[in-house]
Amino acid sequence: MTPASPATIPTLDFKAEADRLLPPGASYDACLACGLCSSGCPASGIDGMDPRRFIRMAMLGLNRELSTTPWIWSCTLCQRCSSVCPMSIDVSVLVSLARGNWPPERRPSGIVRSCQAQLRSASTSAMGVRPEEFVDIVAESAAEVRRQGPRFRRIQPPVDRQGAYFFVNQNSREPAAEPEELGPLWKILDYVGADWTYSSTGWAAENFCLFGGDDDAWRAVVEQRVAAVNALGCRVWLNTECGHSFYSMWRGIRRFGLDARFELDNLISWYARWIREGRLPVNADWNRAGLRFTVQDPCQLVRKSVGDPAADDLRFVARALVGAENFVDMQPCRGANYCCGGGGGALQAGRSGARRSYGRRKFDQIAASGADYVLTPCHNCHSQIEDIGRHYGGDYRVVHFWTLICLSLGILGEDERRYLGPELAGPGLPDRGDDGDG
Amino acid sequence: MSGEPRRHRVQLAVIGSGLAGCAAALFALERGLTTAQVGHSGALAYTSGHLDLLGVLDGRVVDDPWSALGELQRRQPGHPLARIAPETVRHAFHRFTAALSSLGIGYTTPGDRNLRAPTPAGTVKPTLSLPCTMAAGVTAARERSATLVVDFAGLEGFSARQLVANLGPRWPGLRCTRLDFPGMEDGGVLYPEAMARALEVPATRERLAGRIRAVLEGASCVGLPAILGIHRPDRVHRALQRALGATLFEVPTMPPGVAGIRLQEAFEQALPARGLTLVSRQKVTRLQLGKEEATLQLHDSYGPLEIHAGAVLLATGRFLSGGLVADRDGIREPLLDLPVQQPPGRDAWHRDDYLAPEGHPVNGAGIRCDRWLRPLNPDGRVVHPRLFAAGILLAGQDWVRQRCGAGVAIATAFAAVQAAARHLGPGDGDSTPNPG
């Protein structure tokens, strides 16, 4: 690395770094330059860069150009390129390295500020929600839910309950910006009688330090969360509908060798399990109009960590909820799915033109599917797919799973329907006088 | 967090995700075998989409591949296709193309003669079956129809002008033009995969049809690079053809083209739905062949996996896919260190004339098998009764020059699955007779 002033980007020797990072016997020299990576990458062409060009330039020693290209903030680290590469060349390793090589003041400020907020607070919240604020918001929102009717009188989200089975995490977006989205999750956990708790510390799901290329900060956030789960003695850290939060925790624990005395699981798999066990008796009776639904496979959950079992669960739950005949897959899908363009911190990177250009391929996929709704078990996917829909004039809506589960069970409140269209404003409203056993 | 391997138990484990591996998985499921398939992102994405049986024999272009199979038996009795009965080859081809068509990728029914299909280089190539989206190109070339070939600004590796320059002298009605692809006019590099996905959107198709109609000038046929959708291309083909009011055909592009990606994605979705345990984009790290069963060890992104199988079918391809490895002192098979039939030394791998049309001795290197597709030791004994092999990993063929890659893959996959099923038969013992 050459010496540099704080504001300039140092020059990395990418080939030397690649040789250092790759397992023995592997080499970026093995690249055949076939272009499958770029062919399947929605970021190809942005800033005149693509995965193949990145690798070729690294092998040719064009280190200054690679060290400074802003494309690294458009690559969403989704690893689709390496998954289609016959030589398993992982471009995202070099992109992460390049990100971390940018001085913090040159990195996208949205990512940097979010990461700093996470490091400052015991909540690990990127939106700066402090532990006591989280506890207050949960209590106030729960009171709102209880006011929806007597059947919700038991909704008392536990916090810091020692020995609960599930340690449930929460993306900061809900407590900070849309607390009415908390209710459906609590209703589901209450419906199945889950043994769960929030924690006042380490509860947040998101991890922007991962996206900043700052391994120490990524580790610090994961350590705080692992300590919170260990301290409560919970058996399972249950990741709610958020993709990268699962990957950052799951991968972080392995990568940094942390002592996690619990399992990691994701909420979708538990939805599937509860439906199979008859504990969530959802059906598609509410969808008599035959609204068509598709599902977004979050890269971080499906391709980068759990794999096909997560994709299977997503589809099982979706079909049960909307009716198999009303479900349509985007193409490609599952592990081969395209990133929506909102991953890797892109939504916080401030390059909205590039982000929407990336999202064009997702938009085309959705348009080709003919879906009226996109189910997104991930907050970044949700925001990005909504945004590109507005930008490109899409005629679809984007919705969380928990919304449809509660809709199907007849327990979705009026205020919990912000992502549903007018055609679903009425069906299945909870009867305020109903004291059903739920 | 636990690190215990997840375990699967199946009758047949197929290693390889190219044409042979996918065909084997398909045939095994059709036979009712519980099957697992493991393979890295294979060479399938590099295929043109043409399914060649036998296109060239001894430097001559083959018109009737079925009679050429008889000739092959006489001239190259060690060739994998020479060791399978022609009726079995025909049956396997028909089953395979019918299965593809049922997946939404229509293929022409294999006939008695090879088709002559236009290539992106402006040549015609003998092949037995091709995607229905490409079929009209064969007819247009034969009948020399008034045809407009279109390429696109920014699309590398496909030149309509090159096609016309090479085919035009024999095909006077052939013209070319270059258009901007709708929605991709920013001057960047275009990829067939992205264009194909875009054409799955009706609005993009309509815009493209409008641009082509404006330059048709009486052409009755239109040739496009292979970009007519990836999922259900026949639907895209029909819709665009209707919008154009002209007969439409695709010409394969340079790899990576969409014809191979179509096959890869279709298999990856359809076969698990038929019961396949698919571990895609991963390589087997260890294979143990035991008395009671075979054990495959591997890792996916989530952690370690073990597959226990009654039989294993190796369809790992050649050098590109890692089925064979070339070292300074020889060629080896990396998974089991199987004996590789090969020239005596590296000096003998190639002829002096690098472009020799008859190829090089190294092209025939590979795994030698008995007639039940079981790899053999140098002394002629079966390596292991649970082990079978298929595809271009096999010795004694030169699929590139003989235009027989799909033929070797499909026919040997069928025969190897048949042999494995026989092995797995009642009692799961080694019921296969020893080779004579």
Q: What is the DSSP string of B64-131?
A: -HHHHHHHHHHH-TTSGGGGS-HHHHHHHHHHHHHHHHHTT--BPPP-SS-EEEE-TTS-EEEESB-B
Residues B303 and B408 reside in one and the same domain:
yes
| pLDDT for the residue A438 | 37
Instruction: Name the β-bridge partners of B56.
Output: B61
Token duo for residue A161: 């309950």
Residues B282 and B328 reside in one and the same domain:
yes
Pick from B343, B360, B380, B406: which is nearest to B129 by CA? Answer: B406
Q: Which helix (H) or strand (E) holds B136?
A: helix B132-143
The 10 Å Cβ neighbour count of residue B169 is 9
Are the beta carbons of B167 and B122 closer than 8 angstroms? yes
Contacts of A84 in chain B (CB under 8 A): 41, 45, 281
Rounded to 5°, the CA angle A377-A378-A381 comes to 115
Are the beta carbons of B279 and B37 closer than 8 angstroms? yes
Cβ within 8 Å, pair B265-A331: yes
Residues B77 and B96 reside in one and the same domain:
yes
Q: Rounded distance, CA A331 to CA A313, Å?
A: 18
CA distances in angstroms from B135 to B139, B151, B170, B205, B270, listed in the order given: 7, 19, 19, 20, 24
| pLDDT for the residue A304 | 93
Residue A142 sits at φ, ψ, to 5 deg, of -65, -40
Query: Which residues of B touch chain A, with CB atoms under 8 Å apart?
Result: 1-2, 40-43, 45-46, 183, 186, 188-189, 191-194, 197-198, 200-201, 203-204, 230-231, 255-256, 261, 265, 268-269, 272, 278, 280-281, 300-302, 320-321
The 10 Å Cβ neighbour count of residue B430 is 13
Are the beta carbons of B204 and B183 closer than 8 angstroms? yes
Contacts of B326 in chain A (CB under 8 A): none
The 10 Å Cβ neighbour count of residue B21 is 28
The 10 Å Cβ neighbour count of residue B292 is 9
Pick from A241, A287, A273: which is nearest to A407 by CA? Answer: A287
Token duo for residue A364: 């085309």
pLDDT tens figures, A327-352: 999 999 999 999 999 999 999 999 99
Query: Which residue in A38, A86, A333 is closest to B41 by CB distance?
Result: A86
pLDDT tens figures, A23-54: 766 678 888 889 999 999 999 999 999 999 99
**pLDDT confidence band for A432 (50 / 70 / 90):** low
Tell me if B122 is assigned to some domain.
no
Chain A (127-146) residues lying within 8 Å, Cβ to Cβ, of chain B: none
- Amino acid of residue A196: W
Q: Which residues of A154-167 are buried (b: 16+ CB within 10 A; e: fewer)?
A: ebebeebeeebebb
| pLDDT for the residue B426 | 67
In the block, which residue shows the tokens 């001239």? B75
- Dihedral sign, Cα of residue B390, residue B395, residue B396, residue B400: positive
Judge if the upstream peptide bond of residue B172 is cis by omega within 30 degrees of 0: no
Residues B291 and B327 reside in one and the same domain:
yes
Cβ within 8 Å, pair A367-B203: yes
pLDDT tens figures, A242-278: 889 999 999 999 999 999 999 999 999 999 999 999 9
Cα dihedral: B148, B154, B156, B159 (round 10): 20
Pick from B186, B178, B182, B180: which is nearest to B206 by CA? Answer: B182
| pLDDT for the residue B362 | 97
Token duo for residue B42: 């294979």
Residues B99 and B170 reside in one and the same domain:
no
The 10 Å Cβ neighbour count of residue B383 is 18
Are the beta carbons of B316 and B297 closer than 8 angstroms? no
pLDDT tens figures, A406-429: 999 999 999 999 999 999 987 777
| pLDDT for the residue B171 | 95
Q: Rounded distance, CA A140 to CA A367, Å?
A: 40
> Within an 8 Å CB–CB cutoff, is residue A65 touching chain B?
no
> Within an 8 Å CB–CB cutoff, is residue A44 touching chain B?
yes
Segment A8-20 shows an average pLDDT of: 92
- How many residues comprise chain A? 438
- Out of B251, B269, B304, pick the residue that ends a domain: B251
- Out of B201, B220, B251, pick the residue that ends a domain: B251
Residues B77 and B150 reside in one and the same domain:
no
Query: Which residue in A36, A88, A260 is closest to B256 by CB distance?
Result: A36
- Residue A336: exposure state from Cβ atoms within 10 A (0-12, 13-18, ≥19): buried
- Dihedral sign, Cα of residue B61, residue B63, residue B68, residue B71: negative
Tell me if B108 is assigned to some domain.
no
Give the SS3 label for residue A168.
strand
Cβ within 8 Å, pair A44-B320: no
CA atoms within 13 A on the CB side of B244: 27
Structural domain containing residue B247: 131-251
CA atoms within 13 A on the CB side of A272: 16
How far is the alpha carbon of A269 from chain B, nearest alpha carbon, in Å?
15
Q: Rounded distance, CA B22 to CA A130, Å?
A: 53
Tell me if B94 is assigned to some domain.
yes
| pLDDT for the residue B434 | 36
Query: Which residue in B192, B256, B302 is closest to A305 by CB distance?
Result: B302
Residues B51 and B173 reside in one and the same domain:
no
Q: Rounded distance, CA A169 to CA A123, Å?
A: 11
Residues B213 and B93 reside in one and the same domain:
no
Are the beta carbons of B252 and B48 closer than 8 angstroms? yes
The total domain count for chain B is 2
pLDDT tens figures, A382-402: 999 999 999 999 999 999 999
Tell me if B352 is assigned to some domain.
yes
Tell me if B115 is assigned to some domain.
no
Tell me if B365 is assigned to some domain.
yes
pLDDT tens figures, A164-219: 999 999 999 999 999 999 999 999 999 999 999 999 999 999 999 999 999 999 99
Contacts of A50 in chain B (CB under 8 A): 189
Are the beta carbons of B163 and B125 closer than 8 angstroms? no
Rounded to 5°, the CA angle A30-A36-A40 comes to 140
Residues 6+ apart with CB under 8 A from B320: A32, A86, B43
CA distances in angstroms from A164 to A277, A279, B334, listed in the order given: 21, 19, 49
Cβ within 8 Å, pair A303-B280: no
Give the SS3 label for residue B41.
coil
Q: Is the pLDDT score of A89 beyond 80?
A: yes
Are the beta carbons of B47 and B260 closer than 8 angstroms? yes
Tell me if B126 is assigned to some domain.
no
| pLDDT for the residue B302 | 82
Domain boundaries, chain A: 14-101, 113-275, 280-424
Residues B226 and B135 reside in one and the same domain:
yes
CATH number assigned to the domain comprising residue B278: 3.50.50.60
Tell me if B167 is assigned to some domain.
yes
Pick from A41, A76, A38, A83: which is nearest to A56 by CA? Answer: A38
Residues B345 and B423 reside in one and the same domain:
yes
| pLDDT for the residue A26 | 67
Residues B304 and B220 reside in one and the same domain:
no
Contacts of A35 in chain B (CB under 8 A): 191, 256
- Out of B251, B273, B300, pick the residue that ends a domain: B251
Give the SS3 label for residue B260.
helix
Report residues of chain B scoring pLDDT below 50. 427-436
Residues B163 and B304 reside in one and the same domain:
no
Q: C-alpha B287: how far from its chain's center?
A: 25
| pLDDT for the residue A429 | 73
Assigned fold of A280-424: Rossmann fold (3.40.50)
Q: Rounded distance, CA B205 to CA B201, Å?
A: 7
Q: Is the pLDDT score of A381 beyond 80?
A: yes
What's chain A's average pLDDT?
Answer: 93
Q: Rounded distance, CA A385 to CA A402, Å?
A: 18
Residue B221 sits at φ, ψ, to 5 deg, of -130, 150
